């Protein structure tokens, strides 16, 4: 039985994924079960986080968002088993029942983005009806789920589009997005657009997809030049607002902190792995997993999934995902 692994010793420029033979699984510990995998979603591997957690291995298992008979869940960060395998061994505390209406690919392809959206909008920013929220890069797989959750909670949603295709995709949302800001040409000022949309009050919640820490001239990456500057985020944030950032190296100067202080605003870092780092959070984590599946079953969540791919194409597809290529969520179907 083969599984897909990531060669952790390789650099970001030399990403290597390999299939390796695995021994037959024997479930000998209490509360562990065998799971026959039916689908496994592809997501980027955070190699920096693995290094900081000192989880160094020659080969690291790939694929954690899985759906199978009869249960479905996210494998923990320290799992020895790759999700891209026919059978895995997993602790029952990381599993949740899949509703009959939900397909295997939908379950695997939505679970992680659903957890991230809940973490950002429910636990970190306490989203409620009537709030205004800016969701950057709303046409991404994660952005789509975040927008749908915000709309379900009765929030007013503003989003940014990085291309004409993304803009057209966001304009088709129902209920409609209050304003779609096209940043693809680099000429539109996000802060001005948000302040105009909110009557100068600013938005209550900002969920970024990365920020620029320096001026455009100092940013060598073209994609980074399309990101808003950290000063823009602080400017468009309303009084008592919440800034949820995915920028792990965010640097705030004293003037930035003073401006946030005057607004009574908060900054929180979105790291959805925290649920697996402490057993104290296990109850909340399982509640999130169950609610994600329920909203998927009732049609609140409508994920943007690519066509399912066979296992033998997982290696090539994972290499593309690791390089952040493609917009829709890719799922391997067994």
**Contacts of residue 101, Cβ cutoff 8 Å, sequence gap at least 6:** 297
Q: What is the pTM of this model?
A: 0.85
Alpha-helix residue ranges (DSSP H) falling in 198-313:
222-225, 230-236, 254-263, 282-297
Q: Which residue has the tokens 């992680």?
A: 112
Cβ(28)–Cβ(326) under 8 Å? no
pLDDT of residue 54: 60
| Distance from C-alpha of 40 to C-alpha of 184, rounded to nearest angstrom | 32
Interhelix angle 141-152/104-118, rounded to 10 degrees, is 70
pLDDT of residue 33: 75
| Distance from C-alpha of 147 to C-alpha of 153, rounded to nearest angstrom | 10
Domains and CATH numbers, the chain: 2-111+278-333 (3.90.180.10), 127-269 (3.40.50.720)
77 token code pair = 């960060």
Measuring CA to CA, how many Å separate 332 from each of 42, 100, 132, 134? 7, 20, 36, 32
Mapping DSSP to helix (H, G, I), strand (E, B) and coil, where does residue 296 land?
helix
pLDDT of residue 80: 62
Give the Cβ contact number of residue 136 at 10 Å.
27
Report the chain's C-alpha Rg in angstroms. Answer: 20
Give the Cβ contact number of residue 244 at 10 Å.
22
pLDDT of residue 83: 64
| Distance from C-alpha of 150 to C-alpha of 301, rounded to nearest angstrom | 11
| Distance from C-alpha of 161 to C-alpha of 248, rounded to nearest angstrom | 22
Cβ(259)–Cβ(281) under 8 Å? no
| Distance from C-alpha of 159 to C-alpha of 90, rounded to nearest angstrom | 37
Cβ(186)–Cβ(223) under 8 Å? no
pLDDT tens track of the chain, all 334 residues?
A: 677 777 765 455 566 777 767 666 555 566 677 778 888 888 877 777 776 766 666 677 777 788 888 545 666 666 666 666 777 777 777 788 888 888 989 999 999 999 999 999 999 999 999 999 999 999 999 999 999 999 999 999 999 998 899 999 999 998 999 999 998 887 788 999 999 999 999 999 999 998 888 766 555 555 666 788 899 999 999 999 999 999 888 989 999 999 999 999 999 999 888 887 777 777 888 888 999 999 999 999 999 888 888 888 888 888 788 777 677 888 888 8
Helices and strands (H and E) in the chain: how many:
10, 15
């Amino acid at each position: 039985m083969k599984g897909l692994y990531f060669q952790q010793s390789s650099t970001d420029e030399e990403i290597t994924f390999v299939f390796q033979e695995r021994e037959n699984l024997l479930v000998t510990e209490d509360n562990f079960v065998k799971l026959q995998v039916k689908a496994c979603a592809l997501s980027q591997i955070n190699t920096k986080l693995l290094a900081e957690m000192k989880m160094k291995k020659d080969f690291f298992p790939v694929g954690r968002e899985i759906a199978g008979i009869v249960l479905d869940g996210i494998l923990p960060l320290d799992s020895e088993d790759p999700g891209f395998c026919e059978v895995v061994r997993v602790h029952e505390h990381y599993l949740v029942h899949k509703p009959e209406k939900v397909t295997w690919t939908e379950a695997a392809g939505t679970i992680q983005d659903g957890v991230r959206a809940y973490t950002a909008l429910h636990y970190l920013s306490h989203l409620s009806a009537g709030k205004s929220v800016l969701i950057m890069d709303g046409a991404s797989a994660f952005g789509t789920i975040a927008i749908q959750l915000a709309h379900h909670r009765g929030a007013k949603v503003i989003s940014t589009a990085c291309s004409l295709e993304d803009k057209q995709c966001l304009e088709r949302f129902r209920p409609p997005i209050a304003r779609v800001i096209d940043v693809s040409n680099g000429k539109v000022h996000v802060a001005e657009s948000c302040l105009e949309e909110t009557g100068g009050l600013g938005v209550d919640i900002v969920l970024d997809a990365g920020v620029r820490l320096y001026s455009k001239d100092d940013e060598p990456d073209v994609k980074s030049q399309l990101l808003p500057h950290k000063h823009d985020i602080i400017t468009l944030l309303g009084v008592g607002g919440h800034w949820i950032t995915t920028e792990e190296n965010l640097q705030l100067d004293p003037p930035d902190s003073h401006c946030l202080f005057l607004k009574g605003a908060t900054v929180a870092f979105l790291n959805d792995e925290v649920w697996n780092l402490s057993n104290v959070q296990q109850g909340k984590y399982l509640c999130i997993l169950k609610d994600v599946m329920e909203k998927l079953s009732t049609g609140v969540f409508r994920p943007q999934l690519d066509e399912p791919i066979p296992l033998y194409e997982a290696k090539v597809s994972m290499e593309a995902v690791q390089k952040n290529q493609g917009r829709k969520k890719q799922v391997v179907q067994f």
